[in-house]
């Protein structure tokens, strides 16, 4: 019975991390297009990859369930963020 709340937490962590990840991608694209500071943009790209990769690796150490829940959260966040950004740019 303790498995369900744990997976819910991993899903929430995945959604939060995924939302941050994809919003930073959107921000980075704007920086590249607008001639922003390339060093800051590249540093944020490296940081976001390391943080998401580290999070998924940590989840994998906890087992298949947490890894799958976290990855599902990232996919859900991608869908939500892309839909909101598409609506905001219309």
- The structural domain count of the chain equals 1
Which runs of E-coded beta strand occur in 9-67?
none
Residue 73 CB contacts under 8 Å (≥ 6 apart), including other chains:
10, 11, 12, 13, 14, 15, 16, 17, 18
Whether pTM exceeds 0.85: yes
**Residue ranges making up the domain that contains 52:** 3-88
Write down the pLDDT at residue 4: 66
Q: Which helix (H) or strand (E) segment is 36 a member of?
A: none
Q: For 36-90, what is each residue's pLDDT tens digit?
A: 788 888 898 899 999 999 999 999 999 999 999 999 999 999 999 999 888 887 7
Q: For 6-46, what is each residue's pLDDT tens digit?
A: 999 999 999 999 999 999 999 888 888 888 788 888 898 89
In terms of pLDDT, which residue wins out, 64 or 4?
A: 64
Tokens standing for residue 29: 């694209």
């Amino acid at each position: 019975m303790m498995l369900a709340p744990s997976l819910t937490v991993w899903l929430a962590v995945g959604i939060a991390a995924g939302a941050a990840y994809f919003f930073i991608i959107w921000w980075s694209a704007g920086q590249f297009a607008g001639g922003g500071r390339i060093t800051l943009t590249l540093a944020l790209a490296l940081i976001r990859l390391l943080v998401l990769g580290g999070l998924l690796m940590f989840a994998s150490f906890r087992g298949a369930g947490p890894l799958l829940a976290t990855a599902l959260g990232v996919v859900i966040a991608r869908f939500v963020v892309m839909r909101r950004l598409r609506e905001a740019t219309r």
